[in-house]
Amino acid sequence: MNLNRVLHEQARNLMPGGVSSPVRAFKAVGGDPIIVQKALGSRIWDVEGKEYIDYLCSWGPLILGHAHPRVVSAIKRQAELGLSYGLTNVHEIELAKLVVELMPSVEMVRFVSSGTEATMSAIRLARGYTGRKYVIKFDGCYHGHVDSLLVKAGSGVATLAIPGTPGIPEEIANLTIVLPYNNLEAVKETFEKYQDQIACIIVEPVAGNMGVVPPEKGFLEGLREITLKYGALLIFDEVITNFRLSLGGAQEYYGVQPDITCMGKILGGGMPLGAYGGKKEIMEKVAPEGPVYQAGTLSGNPLSMVAGIETLKELIETKPYERLRKLTQRLTSGISEILSRKGIAHTINQVESMFTVFFTEGPVKDYESAKRSDLDTFAKFFRALLERGILFSPAQFEAWFLSVAHTDADVDLTLERIEDAVRGL
């Protein structure tokens, strides 16, 4: 019997669904989830020794590919010097400096251990700073598993079609107002109704959790304008987009500056790391400088810090963005060509090195249109590719990622295998 299946069965007795995060169970696409043995560069191997070209890239952090030598040796060096101090270390100062230099709107930053912690803390800070309680989020956006942000969320919640999550009291969910993405009119109407009761808007500047959905022209600018008008804060959840679209994230890419930015994924170079940051005036409200409390035993962990520092330095020194965009473009146009030839309805949304294949005519501009994708075709496509050694997100409402380790030859091989896979669809 397949070792992946044997181990998954064991795991299911020990961990809910046999996983530490729901999407890893491959529930929406059927078939056995793979159990990983190792990974290097653009490749990942399961416990059977089967090799895959990896476009999941750990859900986004691995822009340098798996086990990049520069990052790995920094972690090894640091490990000899201690794994955690629970006190400030010099690497925090260095990474904070890099973040402040690179992200246009960030003057001060607080490190945490995950993207979820970053968004949870950012919301608290926005409420503490404004003294208001309502939060606006967008349908199909996902900001981690924070109570008040898990309302009509994308990512795994959308994938498993969970309408709402038990365990979140109505009183808390009621403080979150959910609006359609790319719909400024709805935002305006909501502010007219709630006026000065809205603490903040939180938004993925490029949605990545209903599949990739770019902001329409004027959407982010409009959010900036409205929040300024009503004295609410604008929070960009850049956990996926930071250092992915450009060195300065989506805020640099689109030229719109939020008040608070949530970071993660690439920031930690594959180690657990999140952060939130923004203008000094706002960040100085965070304890111990100010009254808004937030803490963490492992926050600023030296292993995560050095992994983040080396990742950012590598990106600064090599500026891989144009090459990544072109390589991704070659992959997406190749996929589109193959699907068109086969007469399979599809739309591919790409922003730089992240993209999603939707099985619908499109355009896909919000969660309503993303949901038109034929999930049955998606599942078949996923399984056919997995069988042929191509791994991407086992969920429609996520992104594919390329890394600097992916080569032209990888893309050629991927297209060849996709061509073969769709023959059977």
Ligand X SMILES: NCC(=O)CCC(=O)O
**Looking only at residues 209 through 248 of this chain, which bind ligand X when binding is defined by CB under 6 A?**
209
Strands laid side by side in the 400-401 sheet: 347-351, 354-358, 400-401
Judged by CB, which is closer to ligand X: 19, or 345?
19
Residue in 52, 59, 138, 392 binding ligand X, rule: CB under 6 A: 59
Give 235's strand partners.
Answer: 202, 260
Which residues make Cβ contacts (< 8 Å) with residue 121, sequence separation at least 6? Answer: 110, 112, 276, 286, 294
- Minimum distance from residue 352 beta carbon to ligand X (Å): 16
Q: Which of 237, 195, 211 is nearest to 373 (CA)?
A: 211
x/- map, 126-145, ligand X, by CB under 6 A: ----------------x---
- Minimum distance from residue 101 beta carbon to ligand X (Å): 26
Distance CA 172, CA 212 (A): 28
- Minimum distance from residue 113 beta carbon to ligand X (Å): 15
Judged by CB, which is closer to ligand X: 22, or 278?
22
x/- map, 311-330, ligand X, by CB under 6 A: --------------------
Helix, strand, coil percentages (3-state) for the chain, rounded to 5, are: 45, 15, 40
- Minimum distance from residue 22 beta carbon to ligand X (Å): 6
Q: Does 23 bind ligand X (CB under 6 A)?
A: yes
- Residue 140: how many other CB atoms lie within 10 Å: 27
Q: Does 165 bind ligand X (CB under 6 A)?
A: no
x/- map, 383-412, ligand X, by CB under 6 A: ---------------x--------------
Which residues make Cβ contacts (< 8 Å) with residue 15, sequence separation at least 6? Answer: none
Residue in 21, 165, 195, 340 binding ligand X, rule: CB under 6 A: 21
Judged by CB, which is closer to ligand X: 149, or 282?
149
Residue in 42, 155, 328, 332 binding ligand X, rule: CB under 6 A: 155
Q: For residue 290, what are its two tokens?
A: 């100010």
Q: Does 10 bind ligand X (CB under 6 A)?
A: no
Distance CA 177, CA 156 (A): 20
- Minimum distance from residue 398 beta carbon to ligand X (Å): 5
Helices 302-318 and 90-102: angle between axes, nearest 10 degrees: 40
- Residue 183: how many other CB atoms lie within 10 Å: 17
Which of the residues are catalytic?
142, 237, 265
Judged by CB, which is closer to ligand X: 156, or 274?
156
Distance CA 227, CA 282 (A): 15
Judged by CB, which is closer to ligand X: 21, or 195?
21
Size of site (CB under 6 A) for ligand X: 10
Which runs of E-coded beta strand occur in 66-210? 108-112, 134-138, 176-179, 198-203
- Minimum distance from residue 379 beta carbon to ligand X (Å): 18
Judged by CB, which is closer to ligand X: 27, or 323?
27
Residues 346, 359: contact at Cβ < 8 Å? yes
Binding residues (CB under 6 A) for ligand X: these are: 21, 23, 59-60, 142, 155-156, 208-209, 398
